[in-house]
Amino acid sequence: MFFKPHTPTSVGAALLGLACVLTTLPVSNAHAKKKAHTAAHKGGHATQPTEASVAYGRSEAVLAFARQVSERHPELDRVWVENVLQDARRLPIVERLIMPAATPSAKNWMVYRARFMDPLRQQEGRRFLKTHAQALQRAEDRYGVPAEVVAAIIGIETIYGRNTGNFRILDTLATLSFNFPTGRSDRSGFFRSELEQFLVLCKRDHLDPLSARGSYAGAMGLAQFMPGTWLNYAVDFNDDGRIDLLNDTTDVIGSVAAYLHASGWQRGVPTHFAVSPPKSDTALATLLGPDIQPSFSAYQFTNLGAQLDQAGQEYPELLALVMLRNGTELPPDFVAGTSNFWAISRYNWSAYYTMAVIELSQALANRRQK
């Protein structure tokens, strides 16, 4: 999905203080999809609204945008771009959904975890691993990402295709491009870029821009890639000459693995280690300062009073202290995240999302071994 760190993705990847934009790392999914994931995880992707919507038609904003897009992309005929965009509709429900909650609830890892360790996802995950074993193994061989991690991401994003969203992508991206709601940091520029990438993607991969559907933030397919992420990181993993993340599970598997690999996934490296936080509030604040980006050596962890397990003490690369709050009544959980924890978080910049992927993947791996 989906909004995915430095500046975007896919899934879902935009809106929680996006400190980033497209750079050499695929981060659009992480930021662009974060708000969409929050809503989806509370109760599934919203369905296409029935309330009145208004077509943008040939408004001045649409015509100006069409001219700019066609100038930047000579392969896109200006008349075609105008004809597509004039069919886009402004969706008030999208404007509401993209806003932060009026009264945000306290973060609770145990509650969040329970949503994604449910019997359905584990059952469907085992079936997915069995059905697509060959493609998953090929992806693991090529990109180094374990089959269970790829499967867990697809399970958390859409329950293996059961819930891919029913908003027309053209409408959602147009709404967030031309009518991004006031009251929060303006991300209309990001969504204009995604709308442009969507048009380029439709032309390149022969998608119908008037029928493609997904989340209210513009993420599409089983893996909830944003258009820019699809365009730049998706792969034709079945070698049929086209990339299809809406219907071709083999392409989805290869693309998720390729995205994580591009995000820095390292073959054979653990995702995290057990750790006890330092007792000093100052030391704790220091370790939590960089958020979940690995920034400290194991030696620095120890010097600041954090206690790593034996494997963590021997880890030669940088670590991040990750805090997972358990509401207001219970103390938080902590782990020491590695570069692979960080790589998963490029899909959706959230420690809770990342840890849910890890725990579901471990559950699937344990079941597979048995």
> Which of the residues are catalytic?
157
- Helices (H), ranges, 73-132: 78-85, 92-97, 109-116, 119-131
3-state SS, residue 324: strand
Spatial distance between the Cα atoms of 311 and 253, rounded to a whole number of angstroms? 30
For tokens 């996006």, name the residue: 18
Please enumerate in sequence order all residues whose Cβ is within 8 A of that of 29, keeping only pairs 6 or more positions apart, or say none: 1, 2, 3, 4, 8, 9, 10, 11, 12, 13, 219, 224, 225, 226, 229, 259, 346, 347, 348
Pairing of strands 330-337, 320-326: antiparallel
Spatial distance between the Cα atoms of 47 and 39, rounded to a whole number of angstroms? 12
Measured at the CA of 211, the angle between CA 72 and CA 239, to 5 degrees, comes to 75
CA distances from 117 to 120, 334, 360 (A): 8, 19, 6
User: How many residues are recorded in the chain?
Assistant: 370
Q: Are 325 and 310 in contact (CB under 8 A)?
A: no
Angle, helices 147-158/133-143, rounded to nearest 10 degrees: 120
Q: Produce one character per residue of 179-214: b if its CB has 16 or more CB atoms within 10 Å, e if not.
A: bbbeeeeebeebbbbbbbbbbbbbbebebebeebbb
